[in-house]
Structure formats: C-alpha cells, structure tokens
Amino acid sequence: MARIIPISIFITLFNQTVWADEMSDKGKYSAIIRDSLDKNGADCRVDTYSVKEETGEAIIFSIKCTHSSYLKDIEVTCTQRLAEQCFVTKY
C-alpha cells in the first residue's frame, strides 16, 4: 500500500506540470491568433482554438468564433521561421 501513494502523487504532479505547459502555450498562441485575425481583417472573436497540425514549417490552428462574430470556423496558419507570420488560410 505504501508504494501506491508515491506513484499516485507522482502522477498527480506530472499531470499538473503538463497542464501548466499547455496553458502557457495557449496564452502564447492566443496573442498570435488575435494579432493575425486583426491584420487579416477577419471578424472573429475567438471562442476556442486548437492546434490542427504542426510541422517543422508551420502550425495550423482551427478556430471557433463566438456567436456574435460574422465568421464561425476558420483556420490560421503560422510559419515557424525567425520572422513568424500568420495568415487566415480558410474561412
């Protein structure tokens, strides 16, 4: 029984660490996505988003807009080069 407790504590701490890493990425991506929507003139207030695909060259985000937005589902592609650029690639 004594071995079960340390393992469960480790799993709990590991899950919290992974969650914290995901949340910091979400904040980073959120600013990039909002900026690219503004630059591209896309009428979308972000409700939720997720990484649809990630390669060495680009990250493609799938974005769900709020009900008050003109657009509903869009994609934003960001290059992963020194000068990171993002574009709305699908309305």
Give the percent of the chain with pLDDT over 90.
34
27-85, pLDDT tens digit by residue?
A: 678 888 888 899 888 999 999 999 999 998 999 999 999 999 999 999 999 987 766 68
Structure pTM?
A: 0.64
Domain ranges of the chain: 4-90
pLDDT of residue 62: 95
DSSP 40-84: TT----EEEEEEEEE-SSEEEEEEEEPTTSS--EEEEEEE-SSS-
